[in-house]
Amino acid sequence: MRTLACLLLATAIVHGGEFVSLFPKDGLPEGWKVQRWDDVKEEAPPGALWRVKDGVLHGSDMRGTWLVSEKEYGDFVLEFEWKLGEQGNSGCGLRFPTEGDPAFDGIELQMADARYNPQAKESELTGGLYRAVAPRKQVYKPTEWNHYKVTMKGPQVTVVLNGETVLDLNLDEQKETVKRHDGKDAKPLAERPRRGRIGFQELSRGGSFVQIRNARVMEL
């Protein structure tokens, strides 16, 4: 038993800590704020609330919001399970600043059902870094619980979806310009922040709100 305890302690030290639950209590998420989907500098309209019920985080009834962490993260491992309805569209924001659009000023890992936008490019579907990098393969399970494990350490990003590695890349090598929704240029991934907020987006239609559970993060 002592040997096992020592191994676990050594592992925690190597990784910089232990996993911390992001939404440990029911109710309004503590340590988070709800902001507009296209500019997180702006507060979401009144009534746009994210809630945790029975351990499951539910996206805002009002479409077009980000749930933004008050804390900043640099290198970390993030794990969570998530589920969407047939016209569900969400995303996980990574290392984004306190203003602008996380998809273009930070990084957005897509969480989207193809039925939301049948014309979407591969980089705009689940497992892609929005409009920048497509996943190696598509292993999203529609209307079921899916599991993400995201590891960010310096320029290296690894994303495992449902047990399959769908992204494993060096951001320093991603130098292509990305187009914003208005057609203007956004910085390539290589030039985006290496430290910032994390968050979750609600942009679903037809009542297909995102659900998230067992979300936890370990700083490296």
In order along its 220 residues, the chain shows pLDDT tens digits of 444 334 443 444 344 589 999 999 999 999 999 999 999 999 999 999 999 999 999 999 999 999 999 999 999 999 999 999 999 999 999 999 999 999 999 999 999 999 999 999 999 999 999 999 999 999 999 999 999 999 999 999 999 999 999 999 999 999 999 999 999 999 999 999 999 999 999 999 988 899 999 999 999 9
Report yes or no: 3 and 206 within 8 Å, Cβ to Cβ.
Answer: no
**What pTM value is reported for the model?**
0.92
Assess if residue 47 is contained within a domain: yes
What CA–CA distance (Å, rounded) separates 157 from 180? 22
- List the domain range (segments joined by +) for residue 211: 18-219
Assess if residue 13 is contained within a domain: no
**CATH number for the domain harbouring residue 23:** 2.60.120.560
Report yes or no: 209 and 73 within 8 Å, Cβ to Cβ.
Answer: no
User: Is the dihedral angle over the CA atoms 32, 96, 135, 88 positive or is it negative?
Assistant: positive
Assess if residue 3 is contained within a domain: no
Assess if residue 10 is contained within a domain: no
What CA–CA distance (Å, rounded) separates 12 from 174? 31
Assess if residue 157 is contained within a domain: yes
Assess if residue 91 is contained within a domain: yes
Assess if residue 169 is contained within a domain: yes
Assess if residue 155 is contained within a domain: yes
User: How many domains is the chain built from?
Assistant: 1
Residue 192: name the closest of 126, 108, 124 by CA: 108
